[in-house]
Homo-oligomer: A and B are copies of this chain.
Amino acid sequence: MTKPKTMLPGHLMITLLVITLLGAAGNGGPAPAADPMPSWHDTTAKQAVLAFVERVSTPGSPDFVPVAERIAVFDNDGTLWPENPVPFQAAFLLDELKRMAPEHPEWSDNPALAAALAGDVTAVRQAGPEALAELLAATHVGMTADEFNRRVRTWLDTARHPRFARRYHDLAYQPMLELLSHLRERGFSTWIVSGGGADFMRVWAEDVYGIPPSQVIGSYSKLRYEMRNGTPMLIKEAGIELIDDKAGKPVGIHRFIGRRPIACFGNSDGDLEMLEYTTINHTPSLGLIVHHTDGDREYSYDAHPQSTGRLVTALEDADARGWIVVDMARDWKTVFRPEP
């Protein structure tokens, strides 16, 4: 049954290989590797990350970790892309509410929905992931999973960030994209562990971050399977099943990965527990916090009362825990990925 693969004749293949190898090794040794993270300044943060990756992925190193255990987890909002002026999923939610409002006059009786429809960004920002997920569920209960995917895709193609006037998924952080690639080249599996909605992130995470849907862990609501007119359907239902934030993050990690990560990247107190779970009494391991210090190029916040992504406890703990703190203004040459 097996169709033989097309092969070059043996001698031609060898000639090609010899040429290739002479090019690579003929000058006395391997060429120096290109910098895998060129958007990072050569500061201690970058050096510590590269040294860790080298230690755990070099055979014979005392800290060598087998590929199956090279698991790296990343928060999303504020770690891989911005979370201001509101988390991007909240922007999607607001746009969806406005789009659907004409069919739902009863929404004006609900204070949270009314505030959102009136564009009260502060109320939305302070609502937290649970309230946001509830709002999102309210707008999407009864919708099929496929239809939800289409809505997210349409929104991504049309909506623009209010300050940067670019599509939201064009605002991924270039230094973090380089870090993701470098980890994967060194045998890591890379996972998102975010308070955001899993179904929302899965629509674009593969294109933007190279992370497939099965490696996107997020908050999620109930789902129902049914056959409708002879076609299998998954229908979104009311009720949150996992808030993948704070102490929910180690739970999500166990549920979906089933192993402790050895590297964890976050930016807020919502990531404190997964930083702990990854690094405490667990060697070798790496914890890293992206500190938003760059109001000129992005945003500057940590304990600012009008921002999500509050970073107080994790920043206090960082030194004692050995977590690397990235200072965006100092450590990153560029912030956003280039225009496509």
Contacts and interface: CB of A to CB of B under 8 A. Distances in A.
A236 to B, nearest CB: 10
A2 B145 CA distance: 45
B29 A21 contact: no
Contact of A254 (B5, B30, B223): B223
Contacts of A54: 1-3
A281 interface: yes
B256 A232 contact: no
Interface stretch (A9-17, A128-136, A286-294): A9-17
Interface in A98-151: 145
A336 B24 CA distance: 48
A166 interface: no
Given A2-B33, A225-B277, A7 B25 contact: yes
Nearest to A28: B10
A332 to B, nearest CB: 19
A182 to B, nearest CB: 11
Interface residues of A, number: 64
Interface string A272-315: 01001100110000000000000000000000000000000000
Contacts of A26: 10
Interface in A198-218: 198-199, 202, 206, 212-214, 216
A21 B14 contact: yes
A302 B41 CA distance: 65
Contacts of A199: 258
Interface string A214-254: 10100010011111001110100000010000011111001
Interface in A8-51: 9-10, 13-14, 17-18, 21-22, 24-26, 29-30, 32-33, 47, 50-51
A212 to B, nearest CB: 6
A258 B202 contact: yes
B10 A25 contact: yes
A198 B258 CA distance: 9
Given A29-B7, A30-B4, A30-B5, A232 B259 contact: no
Given A202-B258, A214-B256, A1 B273 contact: no
Q: Which 3 A-B pairs have the closest CB atoms?
A: A213-B258, A10-B25, A225-B250
25 contacts: A1-B50, A2-B32, A3-B54, A4-B30, A5-B30, A7-B29, A10-B24, A13-B21, A13-B25, A14-B21, A14-B22, A17-B21, A189-B214, A198-B258, A199-B258, A213-B257, A214-B256, A214-B257, A223-B251, A224-B251, A225-B247, A225-B249, A225-B273, A230-B280, A232-B276
